Chain A
């Protein structure tokens, strides 16, 4: 080989020819002129340039340097390219959006975290409630420790490198109160690996106020801090510790306080004689009513039901199976009124346990109350259509109070609450009456409504204009409930502020019970916690259109209804809880980061009424702290292991991969559901996580499957959403047992 060979291999000029340069310049000019904002567009422009240059060469354009100096050529090229390059740079954001490049770092970080060996999900340690973790690890024996302040926990092997760990902060130790990160250790066959997890210890959240029958006392629970606050005749509050996860409370005729719990399986009864436990078996309770010596609780554990227990200690004395997920039970006029979500219903049930009347609702009740004469039951709703199909577009979310006949449940009055005021910027802007929450009648028969979206409490007297109490100036942002005591004073709770205010008859603040630090103090001591608090408020805060996150994601969960945000495919609302570490978000994976969801509020719902800091970051900070809902079924390890076998055999784990039971990947809908009745051409589907799937009906991207069973038996004819055709009935049952255990 000779020097000439080397010259060919190492050319002096990097082999850039005039025609190459012309092709590049022409390609960029064409891309700019065609306003290309995608890889395909850019390549198409280069392709056109390639053809044009080749045609020029074929017809005689010589491939030699033009009679200009190199500097002159460089200046000429720069001058030609300056406008197209500026134009293309201006569309770089659009290009990144189109090609899924924006937020790619966050998405890849989440994927790497889930694909590591070992990996653990969710990457969150709640200091206030039990949580089940799944670990994916290659090994036989796995132990997990969620931080220096927690104990080592043995993981239960389910097979196929999947392990399960049940964590209970009360038993295994909680992260330090102000820690926002914790270093977890995963030990696989003696070899330990560390993972950084988000630590979250929420402060007190007083939510639903309940009055004693004579209105002299009131109570409210704080599920996050395991306490109940009671108020006596003077409006003075007293805090009492309870069991794990108090969801609701009630005060009976004799003045005894009863508390229901989500995680503890007992009712707590506190009276002058002391404290008693009333066993509920293996059930956690979501809501509680006390009538005639009996407590009535609704539960979602195992199966949805209304349970009656005797206050003298008798175990379950009656049970009514419910359809959907129960949300509230209230009593009035010798009957019980129960609401459910997914499907949304309102039922009147006798104290003996028979369903007297039931009706479907378009969206689940946010809250409900019964009038003092027990003739009416009033529901706070985000949408309502009398005997009609639900609205599909979420611009139809219309906050309202619907009044039903307490006997027949026939509609008596449907009153939209969203109001326009002179502060509105555009026609349709909403300034008042958004996101109604807790309802309560006064002794006079007027209705108190707390509006978390617009920081106010209304007192409604018939059709007269409401008497409005603005709560935010008193440190009571996003109020949840209001109740009037016998002396005319009004109690107002604000979970996001951890505060309960007492207003006098003149509606001036008389006292304020701060269960949590005020914002100013939190800013000084724990700014990260303050950001989470602001995020929680932003979740309830109404946009100019009157819609808030709460409008569809009721209480941080889901309304189980269908919405088509911005003209996308109408799909059931996703649960907000447990989304940490599962980028991208929304059904079609449009948003790579949680904070990007803020764009929906700004573009679809006209933004917020007032400036409020970095709501996007705040919302993200709060949503990241929400653990997935608890698993509702009792454990059946052997059947779950066999179910996991079926899960793997059917190929479910290829997309719903452990430990988060999602691979975070996007799929064309027609590839997975080629025979879906809903038009899905050109639509993308983000693989949803299967955590808490038992409580997230309806199923599939368009919600056409109403049960887990129906997914496989009725809606997988193509056998592409898992290979379930060949599965026996027993296999399918086992698969569903496994899914329900997630």
Chain B
């Protein structure tokens, strides 16, 4: 089998594995809530977990690149799939929240409460990132500087964590954990990069 096919297979497996794990977290989160808010809580947990997996792909790929290039490339590809899935989950969560919690599609209440506003902004960023993940969109819209836009994924994750921290149906530890994971990934980014650079520069230790 070719290296490209290996990468495709790995990408699919990783995307499916991460999605399955995210679904498991979502179901467990939904069970913590006692009423009709289960769907809202579960979809929120699904979106956040997928987003965290997507965020973890870059440093993981950077770390693995010097030794496991195929895996690293697959991770880079899975990042996009997971990010788009996170956006879709977040859109579902927002829709369920507006119908089940706010009781209308009126955007007004979202602007009043900080945790709702944070969620709204996180979703806005995710949608922008999700759309610019497709080359056809960036070409059509003449978006050239999309890579800088995609760094806002960290802002989106932080806002999502704040949203989860303040949200009433669920426990605060979800938001706190998310916040800590995002901050850890943000800090890990340059460190992992520096270590990977050093490892890549060592003669005879690169993957072939």
Contact = CB atoms under 8 A, between A and B. Distances in A.
Contacts of A425: none
Contact of B103 (A57, A112, A720): A720
Given A39-B159, A681-B108, A683-B112, A654 B208 contact: no
A31 B73 CA distance: 37
Interface of A: 1-3, 5-7, 9-10, 12, 14-15, 17, 19-20, 23-24, 39-40, 43, 46, 50, 53-54, 57-58, 63, 98-101, 104, 108, 111-112, 115, 648, 651, 653-655, 663, 665-668, 670-671, 674, 681-684, 687, 718, 720
B181 interface: no
A93 to B, nearest CB: 15
11 contacts: A2-B208, A6-B207, A10-B62, A10-B197, A19-B145, A43-B124, A50-B149, A58-B142, A654-B33, A681-B108, A683-B112
Interface in B57-88: 61-62, 65-66, 69-70, 72-73, 76
B121 interface: yes
Contact of A654 (B37, B65, B115): B37
A674 B105 CA distance: 13
Contacts of B125: 43
A72 B155 CA distance: 29
B129 to A, nearest CB: 12
A1 B208 contact: yes
Given A108-B176, A654-B33, A40 B169 contact: no
B109 A39 contact: no
A497 B149 CA distance: 63
Interface string B143-184: 111011101100100010010011111011100100000000
Nearest to B6: A1
A668 B172 CA distance: 19
Interface residues of B, number: 63
B144 A9 contact: no
A671 B99 CA distance: 10
A18 to B, nearest CB: 10
Given A19-B144, A668-B109, A10 B103 contact: no
Contacts of A668: 102, 108-110, 112-113, 116
Contacts of B152: 43, 46
Nearest to B165: A108
B140 interface: no
Nearest to A104: B165
Contact of A10 (B106, B118, B159, B196): B196
B33 A100 contact: no
Nearest to A651: B35
B96 interface: no
Contact of A111 (B144, B162, B172, B206): B172
B172 A23 contact: no
B175 to A, nearest CB: 8
Residue of A99, A101, A653, A681 contacting most chain B CB atoms (<10 Å): A99
Contacts of B108: 668, 670, 681-682
B121 A43 contact: yes
Contacts of B69: 1, 5-6, 9
B118 A667 contact: no
Contact of A1 (B147, B155, B207): B207
Contact of B144 (A2, A12, A54, A674): A54
Contact of A20 (B34, B145, B193): B145
A9 B62 contact: yes
A17 B148 contact: yes
Contacts of B34: 648, 651, 653-654
A100 B114 contact: yes
A100 B110 CA distance: 14
A665 B35 CA distance: 17
A111 B166 CA distance: 10
A6 B66 contact: yes
B145 A23 contact: yes
B191 to A, nearest CB: 12
Nearest to B197: A10
Contacts of B147: 15, 17, 20
B117 A40 contact: yes
A507 B207 CA distance: 96
Residue of A10, A101, A683 contacting most chain B CB atoms (<10 Å): A10
A654 B33 CA distance: 7
B200 A6 contact: yes
A683 B113 CA distance: 8
A115 B173 contact: yes
A39 B115 CA distance: 12
B17 interface: no
A651 B166 contact: no
Given A10-B197, A108-B172, A668-B116, 10 more contacts: A19-B144, A40-B117, A50-B148, A104-B165, A108-B176, A651-B34, A651-B35, A654-B35, A671-B101, A674-B104
Contacts of A5: 65, 69, 73
Contacts of A115: 171-173
Contacts of B35: 651, 654
A10 B151 contact: no
B3 interface: yes
Contacts of B110: 668
Nearest to A9: B65
B111 interface: yes
Residue of A1, A651, A653 contacting most chain B CB atoms (<10 Å): A1
A681 B104 CA distance: 13
A517 B14 CA distance: 70
A684 B145 contact: no
Contact of A112 (B116, B168, B173, B207): B173
Interface string B107-142: 011111111111001001100000000000000001
A120 B116 CA distance: 29
Interface string B10-35: 00000000000000000000000111
A665 B65 contact: no
